[in-house]
Amino acid sequence: MGNYHLSHLDQLEAEAIFILRETAAQFENPGLLFSAGKDSIVMAHIARKAFYPARIPFPLVHVDTGHNFPETIEFRDKYAEQIGARLHIGLVQDSIDRGTAVEETGANASRNKLQTVTLLETIEEQEYDAVLGGGRRDEEKARAKERFFSHRNDFGEWDPKNQRPELWNLFNGRKQPGEHFRVFPLSNFTEMDVWMYMHREGIELPSLYYAHERDTVTRNGVILAVSEFVQPRDGEVVERKKIRFRTMGDATITGAVESNADTMEKIIEEVAAARQTERGNRADDKRSETAMEDRKKEGYF
């Protein structure tokens, strides 16, 4: 008998493909959240594999804060076109204009929290009964408790204390009308796995992930790129630094790290040596100890 053995990346990929196909089979109208961040790119890449030679049987969905780096938006549009997927964009600005979301004020205002409103409105308006997300359990302590198939009530809320047990490869996506599921095919990937997988698969990423020179300001210990959304405040010094981003979020809150890693190999070395989690420089998680759990309960990604 041969050596029937799969490497850890092959096992993770097989699991993610299984989850993606299960989502297509159990739901009528799923959407795949696509922010052009690395996790959503990996998820879309695996989705292409899962349904090859057919196209991905769901649209890409982007909740756009309007505060994205232009590189992100460019990449998003190009990618959707390349794989022949429909792209649905939910604009936070539309929610603000409708009055359902209210722009935060004050020094650390961000549109991060408003994304929840727009996401839930998009889900309702497009009648998505499942939304695929690139969330991973290693990212954050509340996410470590997340299921592959995560139930949301008709207000889009998550009840972490009362989750359905998930055993073996059996996923229960049954629900009442108005309820929906969040599905996380990459649950068992770690940040390192994602990088190793992207390297193996030769996945293309937005240039922001690689080290490049940029004007920055340092605010509350977080390095922010100067852009139309982030302008230096009184007393802040603009510094030219060689930086890269470890996660891709709203430009107002996504911190950069100083880095010389301009290739995937170098990034992998850097990730291996990193002493901070990738969300460690996300101002949104720093608001309180349970910031992520609180946002997730309300319906955040």
Partner 1 sequence: MDLLRFTTAGSVDDGKSTLIGRLLYDSKSIFEDQLEAIEESSRKKGDENVNLALLTDGLKAEREQGITIDVAYRYFATPKRKFIIADTPGHIQYTRNMVTGASTANLAIILVDARKGVIEQTKRHSFIANLLRIQHVVLAVNKMDLVDYSQEVYDEIVTEYRAFASRLGNIVNIMPVPISALEGDNVVDKSTQMDWYEGSSLLYHLENVHVGGEENHVQARFPVQWVIRPQSNEFHDFRGFAGRIAGGVFKPGDEVVILPSGFTTSIKKIYQDETELEEAFAPQSVCMTLEDEIDLSRGDMLVKKNNPPEQGQDIEAMICWFSSSPLQARAKLVLRHTSKEVKALVSEIQYKIDIETLRKIEDDRSFSLNEIGRVKLRVGSPLFYDNYRKNRHTGSFVLIDPGTNETVAAGMIG
Sequence-separated contacts (24+) of 258-262 with Cβ below 8 Å: 258/223, 259/211, 260/211, 261/210, 261/211, 262/210, 262/211, 262/212
Instruction: Give the interface with partner 1 as residue ranges (CB under 8 A).
Output: 1-2, 4-15, 17-18, 21-22, 24-25, 48-55, 137-138, 140-145, 160-161, 163-170, 172, 174-176, 187-188, 190, 192-193, 274-277, 280, 289-290, 293
Question: Cβ of residue 83: shortest distance to partner 1, in angstroms?
Answer: 13
Question: What is the spatial order of strands in the sheet that 30-33 belongs to?
Answer: 87-91, 60-64, 30-33, 130-132, 180-183, 149-152
Interior angle at CA 172, CA 171 and CA 177, nearest 5:
145
**What is the nearest approach in angstroms of partner 1 to the Cβ of residue 71?**
26
Distance in Å, CB of 263 to partner 1, minimum = 21
Closest CB 132 distance from partner 1, rounded Å: 15
Q: What are the tokens at 125?
A: 């308006």
Q: Which is nearer to partner 1, 184 or 229 (CB)?
A: 184
Token duo for residue 100: 């359902």
Q: Which helix (H) or strand (E) holds 39?
A: helix 38-51
Tell me whether residue 24 or residue 63 sits nearer to partner 1 (CB atom).
24
- Considering the complex, what minimum distance in angstroms separates the CB of residue 21 from partner 1? 5
Smallest separation, CB 93 to partner 1 (Å): 32
Minimal distance in Å, beta carbon 248 to partner 1? 19
Closer CB to partner 1, 21 or 199, in the complex: 21
When the beta carbons of 142 and 251 are compared against partner 1, the nearer one is 142
Output the CA–CA distances (angstroms, integers) from residue 145 to 109, 164, 299, in the order listed: 29, 11, 15
Cβ proximity to partner 1, 66 vs 280, nearer residue = 280
Q: Report the residue number, 51 or 74, with the smaller CB distance to partner 1.
A: 51
Contact 189, 181 (CB under 8 A): no
Give the C-alpha separation, 91 to 94, whole Å: 5
- Pull the structure tokens for residue 4: 């029937």
- Torsion region of 64: left, alpha or beta (phi above 0 gives left; psi -120 to 50 gives alpha): beta
User: Is residue 234 classed as helix, strand or coil in its secondary structure?
Assistant: coil
Q: Which is nearer to partner 1, 82 or 176 (CB)?
A: 176
Residue 183 burial (C-beta neighbours within 10 Å; 0-12, 13-18, 19+): buried
Q: Supply φ then ψ for residue 92, to 5 degrees.
A: -60, -35
What minimum distance in Å lies between the beta carbon of 291 and partner 1?
11
> Whose Cβ is closer to partner 1: residue 70's or residue 221's?
221
Count of CA atoms in the C-beta half-sphere (13 A) of 266 = 9
